[in-house]
């Protein structure tokens, strides 16, 4: 079946509620320091690739089990699971393009806390989320410990935009059937590359690049409003 469209999400503070690099840094005692650098990068005040390398360096010599710990602390943004299911049921390709880390994202997809549970109590569930494409960074691990380095290409602003275009082309999705959702300045080029760019509870630096601005913390609102713009 021909894909009906491409829906792309940033991950940290968009598809999930947390910033994963801060969760990973928790045990170092330097989470606040990392959070400050993250905030400046998301406001567009720092070069993303350089800021990521500096933040990853803080993780040097941590056991790789911190990846599992970080994934266990992640909460899906309200509506995330429902939107993925609805989009894929309608024939859309769903992708995650992240300046975060593939290892954590993959574990989150295996089971995460869904904050949209109607019971009002968060429960760890096997989300069973099927994501068609993931592009993120790779943490170097040697002898069971993080080295404080990321391997290969850093997925930053330009890379996110390029991956969106390449994924759409690979799945035969025309450019006018693409939606991108993000929250930080590093998502600006990705939003501009999409037919509909959505700034989701976003930093001021991103809003001017968006076709749609959503401040309701619910991705179902994003999906409804973005589709209406196609």
Q: Which residues are catalytic?
A: 10, 12
Q: In the prediction, which pLDDT does 162 show?
A: 99
- Residue 189's nearest CA partner among 170, 161, 211, 164 is 161
Query: Does residue 58 carry a pLDDT above 50?
Result: yes
Residues 136-168: tens digit of each pLDDT: 999 999 999 999 999 999 999 999 999 999 999
Q: What is the pLDDT of residues 186-204, one digit of tens each?
A: 999 999 999 999 999 999 9
Per-residue model confidence (pLDDT) at position 118: 41
Give 125's pLDDT tier (boundaries 50, 70, 90).
Answer: very low
How many Å separate Cα 51 from the centre of its chain?
A: 17
Residue 2: pLDDT band (50, 70, 90) is: confident
pLDDT, position 123: 46
Q: Is the pTM of this model over 0.75?
A: yes
Q: What is the pLDDT of residue 116?
A: 53
pLDDT, position 110: 86
pLDDT, residue 127, reads: 57
Nearest CA among 190, 94, 97 for reference residue 135: 97
The fold for domain 5-229 equals Rossmann fold (3.40.50)
Residues 48, 157: Cα–Cα separation, whole Å: 8
Model confidence at 122, pLDDT cuts 50, 70, 90, reads very low
Could you tell me the two tokens for 58? Answer: 């803080």
């Amino acid at each position: 079946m021909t894909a009906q469209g491409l829906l792309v999400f940033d991950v940290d503070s968009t598809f999930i509620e947390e910033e994963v690099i801060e969760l990973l840094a928790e045990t170092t005692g330097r989470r606040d320091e990392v959070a400050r650098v993250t905030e400046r990068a998301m406001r567009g005040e720092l070069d993303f690739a350089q800021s990521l390398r500096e933040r990853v360096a803080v993780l040097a010599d941590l056991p790789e089990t911190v990846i599992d710990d970080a994934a266990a602390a992640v909460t899906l943004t309200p509506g995330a699971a429902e939107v993925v299911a609805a989009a894929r049921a309608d024939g859309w390709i769903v992708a995650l393009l992240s300046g975060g880390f593939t290892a954590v994202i993959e574990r989150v997809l295996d089971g995460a806390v869904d904050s949209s549970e109607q019971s009002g109590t968060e429960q760890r569930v096997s989300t069973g989320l099927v994501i068609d494409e993931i592009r993120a960074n790779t943490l170097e691990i040697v002898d069971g410990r993080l080295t404080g380095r990321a391997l290969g290409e850093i997925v930053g602003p330009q890379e996110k935009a390029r991956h969106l275009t390449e994924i759409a082309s690979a799945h035969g999705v025309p450019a006018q059937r693409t939606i991108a959702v993000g929250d930080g300045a590093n998502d600006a080029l990705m939003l501009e590359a999409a037919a509909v760019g959505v700034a989701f509870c976003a930093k001021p630096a991103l809003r001017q690049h968006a076709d749609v601005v959503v401040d309701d913390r619910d991705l179902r609102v994003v999906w409804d409003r973005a589709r209406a713009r196609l």
